[in-house]
Amino acid sequence: MRKIILTYVFLFALHAGAQESKVDLSGFKKNGSEVRINQKIITLTWPAGNNQTGKMLIDLENDHAMLKSVQLAKGKIFKEIGSDLDPAFVLTIGKRSLSPSSGGWDVFFDRVPKKPFHSYPVTIRKQNASVRTNGQQTILTIDGAHADRFKGNVEITFYNGSPLFNVAAVLSTEIDSTAILYDAGLVSKKAIWKTMAWANVQDQMQQVTPSATDTSRNLEVKYRTIIGENPGGSLALFPAPHQYFYPLDEAFNLKFTWYGQNFHKLIAGFGMGIRQDPYGDNRYVPWFNAPPKTQQRLNFFCLLDEGNATSALAQVKKFTHDDSYKAVPGYKTMATHFHNEFISDVVLAGKPVPEKPEFVDVLKKHGLDIVKLAEFHGPGHPKGPDNDRLKELGALFQQTKRLSDSKFLLLPGEEANNFYGGHWLAFFPKPVYWVMSRKPNESFVVDDPKLGKVYHVGNKEEMLKLLELEKGLAWTAHARTKASTGYPDAYKDEDFFKSETFLGAAWKAIPADLSIPTLSQRVLKLCDDMANWGLQKHVISEADIFTITHQNEMYAHLNVNYLELPNLPNYEQGWQSVLDAMRKGKFFVSTGEVLIPSFSINGKKSGETLKLTSAGTANINMALEWTFPLNFVDIVSGDGKEIYHQRINLNDTQSFGKKTFSWPVKLAGRKWVRVEAWDVAANGAFTQMIWLDQ
């Protein structure tokens, strides 16, 4: 009987019209999941790990709820967790500014909500359906999704080994210069959840008994998760932890979840889900890119649990290590580029200076070992007068020293933005007093009886000299976007850029585009370009955010550098080892969910040079650890002119795994190589370059 199910195409008439509709099973292969079709009901079961089995009944009748029943079994006894549920999406469409001077599709300085925009419900007219397998994933696709100028389908993806599934409206448009947002969730016109639950920003569980008449309300939550609880178990609904959050200067918690009736005054019925605030932090609000003919995945995840909401949330938190960066032996975590302005706004503003500032506690709780600040970005006196500038630096050094300890290193730093062009960050291995201006008769360096050496820098040549003398590093902040649009390209032939003092550039997920299976490739493409220019540069990650509080949605906007360091340096003795690890490329970048504990090619590690054989063949060894199922690895290489990608599909992985992979690779004629790894939620990690010699 099963062979018949797997090989035949089932035809049946839709209730709403005479047109016939198909359920195409030609792409369904044996992978542990099972599909049965009874008239217009598709029953799909999948192995959910820990002796559990998930089951979903999908109704293709147009006047019936799509998700007739969602169930979970421990052993062989199924319990229904939810019923009569419809995926619901609201697509908000605006206009993108695409001026080349602002970065084109890489633009950040765009204020989309200040231009006309409109929100549309995504209507789903169920048409043809298909079920296919992709390694350990099973994908159900239903045609007939539509919202204004966008059209496409609905996809539900089930992941073997976990009670996890993803729901997406996959839509595209022919219209250029389009920016979008989306809200989404599960809605029912018949049933409501017995209990709604979430964790507040103080990390305390909240529970309410909903009423069918409850008007939809937006919630400020922790872990980006809303949970519906019934006697049979709980369903936790949450977005991709980083991909869903378009880039902003602030990490404010903008009430990213909702529950209740008549959401957005566009979705009938009682539901729960995720949402975006179209006005963001009321600064620059670029939304998501939606280039024409790209398939935008408006998606969210659901996790089933046989227990209550507290149990379900505990399982969700595992996917992000409780919103912290997991320790990896031999590495220390470092985050950079924070404009908290603690010195200007608190220490030098005459306010009480807390013994334990909130921002330090927030950063520690996210598992950060090292934090490099970017103070005086707006306030402060980088060009003097000297009395003000030196007082500010003195306070910065005093407070960072005071707030550092044996387990946490808070380091001074600035976004200098003088001399070189665009925006860039300066980083020294110890406190350095310097003023970003020099009068005609003023010395480049003087010895101050109290402060020691004090530098006055008047041009790019002197800036390079200072970095060389003090063994500092510089790199381009938010390269090719924001105020660095056109950089570092504009100074790639300058001596300071070619020098060893210029690290390269910093990566942050700008822009946001839901049509790609990764976060932003903007700076990763720059990384490849710099290597093809013949320069040995590296790319670190940056947060580039301002306010840091427990109330904020910090984790969504964070990323981290895992530096290969055996020990955390002592502040008083300097942190040269931190800069050495960066300079030598001894680190990998991660959003937190995908880790690279080890990586080598023929025994050579990141930042090193590999002498290839005449045949140009090599072997990559890469240890990966992950939470969400992995999606793929991309082996990226270049020959000085072209860039090459070799994608390795990792769809046979399940949630929460670790494995050392080995892949042969042909690198004849290539000059460098690096590797990226990405999961199904667009979380990822990437190595630094290995340089090739033939």
Rounded to whole angstroms, what are the CA distances from 401 to 109, 406, 642?
A: 35, 11, 46
- Alpha helices (H) along 257-356: 309-317, 342-345
Q: Whole-angstrom Cα distance, residue 593 to residue 131?
A: 28
3-state secondary structure 120-179: EECEECCCCEEEEEECCEEEEEEEEEEECCEEEEEEEEEECCCCEEEEEEEEECCCCCEE
* Mean pLDDT, residues 340-362 taken together: 96
User: Mind listing the pLDDT tens digit for each residue in 124-149?
Assistant: 999 999 999 999 999 999 999 999 99
pLDDT for res 191: 86
Cβ of 348: how many Cβ atoms within 10 Å? 19
Candidates 164, 215, 222; CA nearest to 33 is 164
DSSP, collapsed to helix, strand or coil, labels residue 241 as coil
CA 49 to chain centre: 26
- Confidence (pLDDT) at 546: 96
Local confidence band at 15 (pLDDT 50, 70, 90 cut-offs): very low
**pLDDT digit string, tens, across residues 82-106:** 999 999 999 999 999 898 888 999 9
Q: How many CB atoms lie within 10 A of CB 435?
A: 22
Query: Mind listing the pLDDT tens digit for each residue in 549-600?
Result: 999 999 999 999 999 999 999 999 999 999 999 999 999 999 999 999 999 9
Which residue type does 176 have?
D
Give the chain's length.
694
* Strand extents, DSSP E, 173-295: 178-188, 195-199, 205-208, 217-219, 222-230, 233-238, 257-263, 267-274, 288-289
Residue 682, C-beta contacts closer than 8 angstroms, at least 6 positions apart: 240, 242, 243, 516, 517, 518, 519
Q: Are 411 and 400 in contact (CB under 8 A)?
A: yes
Do residues 221 and 556 touch, judged by C-beta distance below 8 A? no
Q: How far apart are CA 10 and CA 16, in angstroms?
A: 18
Average pLDDT over residues 268-291: 97
Residue 20: predicted pLDDT: 45
Q: What is the pLDDT of residue 21?
A: 53
User: Is residue 14 pLDDT above 80, yes or no?
Assistant: no
Per-residue pLDDT tens digits for 474-518: 999 999 999 999 999 999 999 999 999 999 999 999 999 999 999
Gap between the terminal Cα atoms of the chain: 58
Average pLDDT, stretch 315-344?
A: 97
pLDDT band, residue 9 (cuts 50/70/90): very low
Report residue 8 as tokens.
């035949």
pLDDT (tens digit per residue) in 182-212 = 999 999 998 899 999 999 999 999 999 999 8
pLDDT at 16 over 50: no
Name which of 297, 323, 162, 304 is nearest 241 in CA terms: 323
Q: What are phi and psi of 236, to 5 degrees?
A: -100, 130
CA distances from 588 to 37, 333, 346, 507, 595 (A): 47, 10, 34, 12, 8
Residue tagged 């005071």 (tokens)? 402
Q: Can you give the pLDDT at residue 108? A: 96
**Percentage of the chain exceeding pLDDT 90:** 94
Average pLDDT, the chain: 95
- Give the SS3 label for residue 351: coil
Strand 20-24 versus strand 129-134 pairing type = parallel
Confidence class for position 12, pLDDT limits 50, 70, 90: very low
Q: Is the pLDDT of residue 657 over 70?
A: yes
480's torsion region: left (phi>0), alpha (psi -120 to 50) or beta? left
Q: What is the pLDDT of residue 2?
A: 41
Residue 76 has a pLDDT of 87
Q: Which two tokens stand for residue 3?
A: 């062979």
| C-alpha closest to that of 635 among 623, 652, 649 | 649
And the tokens for 550? 């427990």
Q: In this model, does residue 13 exceed pLDDT 70? A: no
> Is 50 exceeded by the pLDDT of residue 327?
yes
Cα separation values, 316 from 160, 235, 236, 254, Å: 16, 10, 8, 20
Residue 174 clears pLDDT 60, i.e. is over it = yes
Please state the separation of Cα 149 from the chain's center in Å.
28
Average pLDDT over residues 30-51: 96
pLDDT bracket for residue 70 (50, 70, 90) = very high
Using DSSP, state whether 548 is helix, strand or coil: coil
Q: Give the separation between CA 552 and CA 509, rounded to whole angstroms.
A: 18
Residue 40 clears pLDDT 70, i.e. is over it:
yes
